[in-house]
Structure 1
Amino acid sequence: MAHAIWNGSINFGLVTIPVRLYTAVRENEIHFNMLHKTDKGRINFQRVCSIDGKKVDWNDIVKGYEVDDGDYVIITDEDIKKVSVEATQSIDITEFVDLADINPILFDKPYYLEPEKKGRHAYALLRDALASAGKVGIARVVIRTKEYLCALKPNGNALILELMHFPDEIVAADEYDFPPANEKVPAAEMKAAKLLIDTMAAKFKPEQFRDNYREEMMAMIQARA
């Protein structure tokens, strides 16, 4: 059984649903270590000052934010504590919106919300009501010491909590040169394009897609182990 990364409750109105939060995505990226070619020893890096070239002890290291080229503002642990969000055990829904109204680019990372035993009925009711209405719940949640914007979405038998980007994190499309949406296209070309799309149309089956790079790399590694 996976380990819950957060325990708390979904709150809206007078309703409280106790839940546990689990990751919904398993990262399968292959990571390599840097080794000494001759004896396979792990490579260690020293903390060296870029100005005097000397090794720096942990006690002499501080955090800094670069405000200009080479100009830093020092931030202490106490400074960080002053602006850190207090950890809470609640997912506070502020509104329900149409899923179609949310730009998919805002969605970041999904998590499963599993109900505690005493919250199963209310959980199922919320899940099914959202699915029936085509709505999602918009909420804020604090995980560890960071506050996130998130959406609660029905997904089969589960409710998914999907972390979202804040609007200022999204790069505006008008920064790039895209052809206008109302650009006139010859009818014959549009007809041919639609025909090609219809010919290639299929029901999406994610299980038919595989990470070929990872599989081939792991096969190579296992063959040499």
Structure 2
Amino acid sequence: MHTMWKGTISFGLVNIPVKMHAATENKDIRLRNLHKECRTPIKYEKVCPNCDREVTNDEIVKAYEYAKNKFVVLDDDELAELKKEQADKAVQIMDFVDMEEIDPIYFEKSYYLSPNEGGAKSYGLLREALEDSGKIGIAKIMIRSKEQLAVIRIYQNTLVVETIHYPDEVRDVKDVPNVPAESNNDAKELETAKLLVDELSAEFDPDKYHDTYREALMELIEAKKEGEEVTTAEDKAKPDNVTNLMDALEKSVERAQKDDEPQPKRKIAPKEKKKMAK
């Protein structure tokens, strides 16, 4: 499993060298955009609308837009220094809380933690402490240039880092429109709804749920491949130097032949003849 981060998790005076690995992966099927006419993948270019030309990566700087069309430019070295300051810090568990105290709306992405060299004993110590106490750890961690609030918990005998949103990243539920303050359902409707909930209640089994759209899309793709309903991007026509050279030679010969042809004599007007005679 690919290691995406190495660091130290600490609680109190205990330091645990760990490696972090992505616990989930995106299974979405990515479709490319092709030019309908020639079946060539569309190319997206970075173009400056003011200079009306394509720009290279070394011509691009990062900036924060604090007002419409007003920017504060941030130097790459300044950003790199900030990232280094945060990345060099050990991940300190700040608090231990009950899992039930955190609403699922805060949870974002999961990562597995494995012990790095010399960290197996302290790794097991934290795992056992969390398991016996029923608590989870709250910490801050730098992941991909962003400081994240995170939960450290146990999942099937493995420590997991679960990034969670900061409170100001969760929108106020009061801003959700048209939510009724009270339910005006009669007792019979409520009893019927509860009966339906009971009928559909079951133990959670993740293996029974499938992405049916992704499966159907892959079946369609495979069927088209087997039926040879495939397309290949056309190669860009390359200039034929031989043909171009022959064209140039033939045109040159034609032009030379025209230059060698005797030119028709210009008729001399009577007035011009009199002038020449004088």
State the TM-score, normalized to the length of structure 2.
Answer: 0.71
CA–CA separation in structure 2 for the residues paired with 1:63 and 1:72:
9
CA–CA separation in structure 2 for the residues paired with 1:166 and 1:33:
35
Residue in structure 1 matched with residue 75 of structure 2 by the alignment: 76
1:27 Cα deviation after fit: 0.8
CA–CA separation in structure 2 for the residues paired with 1:120 and 1:60:
47
Residue in structure 2 matched with residue 165 of structure 1 by the alignment: 165
Residue in structure 1 matched with residue 208 of structure 2 by the alignment: 208
Residue in structure 2 matched with residue 56 of structure 1 by the alignment: 55
Partner SS for 1:190: helix
Which amino acid is the alignment partner of residue 48 of structure 2? C
Aligned residues: 223
1:30 Cα deviation after fit: 1.0
Which amino acid is the alignment partner of residue 54 of structure 1? R
Residue in structure 1 matched with residue 8 of structure 2 by the alignment: 9
1:43 Cα deviation after fit: 2.0
The answer to whether the 8 Å contact 1:62/1:75 transfers is yes
The answer to whether the 8 Å contact 1:128/1:154 transfers is no
For residues 141-220 of structure 1, the aligned pairs below 5 Å read 141-177=141-177, 178-180=179-181, 185-220=185-220
Relative to structure 1, the CA distance from residue 143 to residue 47 in structure 2 (aligned partners, 3 Å threshold; closer, same or farther) is closer
CA–CA separation in structure 2 for the residues paired with 1:172 and 1:47:
36
Partner SS for 1:198: helix
Residue in structure 1 matched with residue 266 of structure 2 by the alignment: none
Partner SS for 1:32: coil
Relative to structure 1, the CA distance from residue 49 to residue 12 in structure 2 (aligned partners, 3 Å threshold; closer, same or farther) is same
Residue in structure 2 matched with residue 34 of structure 1 by the alignment: 33
The answer to whether the 8 Å contact 1:151/1:164 transfers is yes
1:121 Cα deviation after fit: 3.5
Which amino acid is the alignment partner of residue 14 of structure 1? L
1:90 Cα deviation after fit: 2.9
Residue in structure 2 matched with residue 21 of structure 1 by the alignment: 20
Partner SS for 1:84: helix
CA–CA separation in structure 1 for the residues paired with 2:58 and 2:111:
37
Relative to structure 1, the CA distance from residue 162 to residue 51 in structure 2 (aligned partners, 3 Å threshold; closer, same or farther) is same
Partner SS for 2:120: helix
Of all paired residues, the percent bearing the same amino acid is 38
Q: Computing the radius of gyration over CA atoms, which structure comes out larger, 1 or 2? A: 2
Relative to structure 1, the CA distance from residue 72 to residue 161 in structure 2 (aligned partners, 3 Å threshold; closer, same or farther) is same
Which segment drifts farther, 80-89 or 153-162? 80-89
Task: Report which of the two has the higher share of strand.
Answer: 1
Partner SS for 2:28: coil
Task: Report which of the two has the higher share of helix.
Answer: 2
CA–CA separation in structure 2 for the residues paired with 1:45 and 1:171:
33
The answer to whether the 8 Å contact 1:66/1:72 transfers is yes
CA–CA separation in structure 2 for the residues paired with 1:39 and 1:81:
43
Which amino acid is the alignment partner of residue 98 of structure 2? D
Which amino acid is the alignment partner of residue 145 of structure 1? S
Output one character per residue of 1:40-87: Cα deviation in whole Å (capped at 9) or x when no partner. 322223332223533334443332332233333333324423543522
Gaps of 5+ in 1: none
Which amino acid is the alignment partner of residue 75 of structure 2? T
CA–CA separation in structure 2 for the residues paired with 1:13 and 1:219:
53
Which amino acid is the alignment partner of residue 40 of structure 1? R
Relative to structure 1, the CA distance from residue 192 to residue 112 in structure 2 (aligned partners, 3 Å threshold; closer, same or farther) is same
Residue in structure 1 matched with residue 264 of structure 2 by the alignment: none
CA–CA separation in structure 1 for the residues paired with 2:112 and 2:43:
38
Gaps of 5+ in 2: 226-278
CA–CA separation in structure 2 for the residues paired with 1:167 and 1:119:
32
Relative to structure 1, the CA distance from residue 27 to residue 58 in structure 2 (aligned partners, 3 Å threshold; closer, same or farther) is closer
Which amino acid is the alignment partner of residue 154 of structure 1? I
Output one character per residue of 1:159-215: Cα deviation in whole Å (capped at 9) or x when no partner. 1100111111111101013233x6565433332222221111111111011111111
